[in-house]
Structure formats: structure tokens, C-alpha cells
């Protein structure tokens, strides 16, 4: 089946409840291989929960998540990362006291080819692998234009630079699918434009990108396909133009003029 082969990540009727709170209900998503896919939605719609389920930080209450055909159920975060899923965080989570280079090299952990023996006994293998890691880390830093700060401590970076370092670190895990959680949150417009170009460059290098974003203009400018999450349900999916004109999406973002009992009930449920 050629269609199945081109699907990178697939969520099938995935739900997640926290006690009585139904954060995600019956979410179906299929992220195609290649390109940039966006997930948008108002605050508290459950977007980050989607990422936490995919990366194994939370188990879904029901439903299945498949990545390149493999079921992710029961796998630990590090195992899922090793399958080729890299991610960044909405609230930046760098290793603050380590240098930029070290941060990125941590991401290469699973891709260094020396075991305990190589570590303790074989100098040659150890050195060549560490050198390869350092060179690759420098290369990734140069992709996000941070290579001139390679030896600085991550803590010293500006907010925008920290986001870019997270991106480089996620790339170091050699992901087939890159999950970006609000990559431009808190950035000014020039930083946003710059990051947009960098994400486009990364996409052009063949990485599939799945991003959560709040900034509509940013999403519309980058993504080929967008899904909209509202109150834990996918309410629309399609190209930027279709999403922009979708009445349900407009309602979710701007509210509805006439207060129908249905939407009032939905509001009440959330409150």
C-alpha cells in the first residue's frame, strides 16, 4: 500500500483523560511523510498533550499511535526517540549548565558507536566517535547559526537563541519526524521571520516536521497541512486556505455571534 508507506505518524481514535477531565477525545491524525504539518488550537485545547502522548511521556487512555507502522504503546520516551522522533518543548528545557556543543552532543547519545569496551579500552574508536560527534554537533549548530557560541553555557543565550539550540539538539537525535512545540512562542517578529527560514531550511533537508503553534500567520506561512484542535477534538483538517475560511475554526478562535445552546453547553463543560 503506497498510501500507508507515505504516512509518518498516525493517531487512531486517541483519547486521554485526567480523572474526569477529557483532555483529548477520539483524535485521529495522519501526518504524511515530508513537508510541514501544523496543529493549531486555542489555549488549553490539548495540543501539548498530543505531543506528550506521541513521545511517551504520557500513555493514552485509549487509541493507538503508530510511527512508521510501529505501535508506540508501552515504549519508553528514550525508545521512542530512538525510533526517530525528536521534539522541542514549549517551555524550553535545555541542559542549562552545559555548553551549546555539549547540549547537542547529548542528543547524539544513541548514535555513538562505542560500548563499554570502547569506552574503557579502545582509545581509537572512542576518539574517532567523539570527534565525529563534535563535528556533527558543530554542523547542527551552524544550521541554526549558533556555531560561533559553541563553547558558551546554554544559560547565557537569549530566549530566541535558546529555542534555536533546542532545535539543533532535537536534530541531533537524527529524527525522521521532528515535533516542534510552539517554536516561536515569546519571540519578536524579526526572530520569528528568521526562525521561519530556518525551519524551511530544515524541512528542505528532508525532515518531516509536525509543529504546534499559536501564531496563525507563522503556521499559515509554513505548513502545507493544518489540523485544528478545540476542546480536545479535531474540528478541521486541510490546507491553509481551507482552514482560514472554515467557519468552525473561525468560531473556535473568534467565538460565535449568536449564542446557540450547543456551544453554550460546550463552554459550560469546559468551565
Partner 1 sequence: MEWFDNFWAVYSNLVLTLGTNALLALSIYLTLSCGMLAMANAAFMGIGAYTSALVTMNLGLPYPVALAAGMAAPGLMAFIIGKPTLRLSGVYLAMATLAFGEVVRIVVLNAESLTGGALGLNGIPQSTEWWHVGLALLLTVAVLWRLRRSRVGRAFEAIKEDETAAGLMGIDVGAHKMLAFVLGAMIAGLAGTLNAHLTFFIGPNEYGFDRGVDILTMAILGGINSLFGPILGGIMLTVLPELLRGFKDFRLVVNGFILVLIVLFLPKGIWDPARFRQWFSRSSRKGAAA
Residue 176 is classified by DSSP as: S
Q: Does 125 sit near partner 1 (CB under 8 A)?
A: no
Q: Does 48 sit near partner 1 (CB under 8 A)?
A: no
The dihedral formed by the CA atoms of 20, 24, 25 and 30, expressed in degrees to the nearest 10: -160
96 or 145: CB nearest partner 1: 96
57 or 235: CB nearest partner 1: 57
Closest CA to 27 of 19, 16, 38: 16
Q: Does 169 sit near partner 1 (CB under 8 A)?
A: yes
Binding segment for partner 1 (CB under 8 A), chosen from 1-9, 40-48, 107-115, 222-230, is: 107-115
Q: Does 81 sit near partner 1 (CB under 8 A)?
A: yes
Q: Does 109 sit near partner 1 (CB under 8 A)?
A: yes
The dihedral formed by the CA atoms of 63, 71, 54 and 6, expressed in degrees to the nearest 10: -110
Helix or strand holding residue 234 (H, E): strand 233-238
Binding segment for partner 1 (CB under 8 A), chosen from 4-12, 96-104, 157-165, 224-232, is: 96-104
Q: Give the binding site for partner 1 (CB under 8 A).
A: 55, 57, 76-78, 81-82, 86-87, 89, 93-98, 102, 105-112, 114, 119-120, 126, 130, 133, 169, 172-173
Amino acid at each position: 500500500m503506497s498510501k500507508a508507506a507515505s504516512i509518518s505518524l498516525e493517531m487512531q481514535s486517541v483519547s486521554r483523560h485526567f480523572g474526569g477531565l477529557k483532555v483529548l477525545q477520539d483524535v485521529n491524525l495522519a501526518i504524511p511523510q515530508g513537508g510541514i504539518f501544523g496543529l493549531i488550537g486555542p489555549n488549553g485545547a490539548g495540543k501539548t498533550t498530543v505531543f506528550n502522548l506521541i513521545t511517551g511521556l504520557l500513555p493514552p487512555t485509549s487509541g493507538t499511535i503508530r510511527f512508521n507502522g510501529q505501535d508506540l504503546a508501552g515504549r519508553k520516551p528514550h525508545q521512542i526517540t530512538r525510533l526517530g522522533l525528536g521534539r522541542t518543548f514549549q517551555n524550553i528545557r535545555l541542559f542549562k549548565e552545559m555548553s551549546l556543543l555539549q547540549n547537542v552532543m547529548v542528543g547524539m547519545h544513541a548514535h555513538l558507536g562505542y560500548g563499554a569496551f570502547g569506552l574503557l579500552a579502545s582509545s581509537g574508536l572512542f576518539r574517532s566517535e567523539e570527534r565525529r560527534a563534535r563535528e556533527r554537533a558543530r554542523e547542527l549548530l551552524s544550521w541554526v547559526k549558533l556555531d560561533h557560541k559553541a563553547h558558551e553555557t546554554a544559560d547565557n543565550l537569549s530566549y530566541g537563541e535558546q529555542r534555536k539550540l533546542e532545535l539543533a539538539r532535537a536534530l541531533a537525535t537524527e529524527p525522521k519526524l521532528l515535533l516542534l512545540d510552539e517554536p516561536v512562542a515569546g519571540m519578536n517578529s524579526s526572530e520569528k521571520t528568521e526562525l521561519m527560514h530556518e525551519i524551511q531550511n530544515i524541512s528542505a533537508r528532508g525532515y518531516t516536521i509536525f509543529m504546534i503553534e499559536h501564531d496563525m500567520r507563522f503556521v499559515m506561512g509554513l505548513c502545507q497541512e493544518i489540523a485544528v484542535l478545540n476542546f480536545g477534538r479535531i474540528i478541521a483538517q486541510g490546507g491553509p486556505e481551507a482552514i482560514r475560511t472554515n467557519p468552525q475554526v473561525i468560531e473556535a478562535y473568534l467565538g460565535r455571534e449568536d449564542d446557540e445552546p450547543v456551544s453554550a453547553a460546550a463552554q459550560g463543560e469546559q468551565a
